[in-house]
Amino acid sequence: MIDEIAPELALIQVYLRAASFAHRGEPLTLLPVTEDAGNFGVGLAIDELNDGAVTQVRVHITNDPESEKGRYELDVEMAAIIEKRNDVARALPQSQVLEIGAALLYPYVRELVSNLTGRGRLGAVWLHPFNVRGAVESLVAAENANADAAAKP
């Protein structure tokens, strides 16, 4: 049966953890339509809850307020609560749950950013899709490198 081999994950809740939005310090010197929205950084994090039966996945978007290209100063963090409903799901590595959770959560983050910035003077900013798997692999590689460095005398 497929139920015996497929991990069963359920998206229980999506919520806003924190948001900060402002025009740059000199909004009147910028044209109403600016070509480039600036560079945004994406941060991913995961927290196990209830002995691993429930996981919180977080996506954090921020931009460099000092960048000359950025239209706005933006800092947004959203989270999703994901329930692991069977033993196969509970046995998944954290990195795989983070990848699945971030892929599920990112469209909500994109919508929030476009709604916030759409109310600003310089128009809406639409975040581009990104390689979630690549971001998680980079995060895992960095954690492994830090663990290896800490283990060496």
* Distance (Å, whole) CA 80 – CA 9: 12
Scan for tokens 């910035």, then name that residue.
117
| Token reading at 37 | 């929205």
pTM attached to this predicted model: 0.82
How far is CA 95 from each of CA 30, 37, 49, rounded to the nearest angstrom? 41, 30, 15
**Digits of tens for pLDDT over the chain (153 positions)?**
555 677 889 999 999 999 998 877 665 665 555 555 667 888 999 998 888 789 999 999 988 766 666 778 889 999 999 999 888 888 899 999 999 999 999 999 999 999 998 888 777 888 888 899 999 999 889 888 887 777 776
Rg (CA), the chain: 18
Query: Can you spell out the DSSP letters for 61-129?
Result: EEE-TT-SS-SEEEEEEEEEEEEE-SHHHHTS-HHHHHHHHHHHHHHHHHHHHHHHHHTSTT----PPP
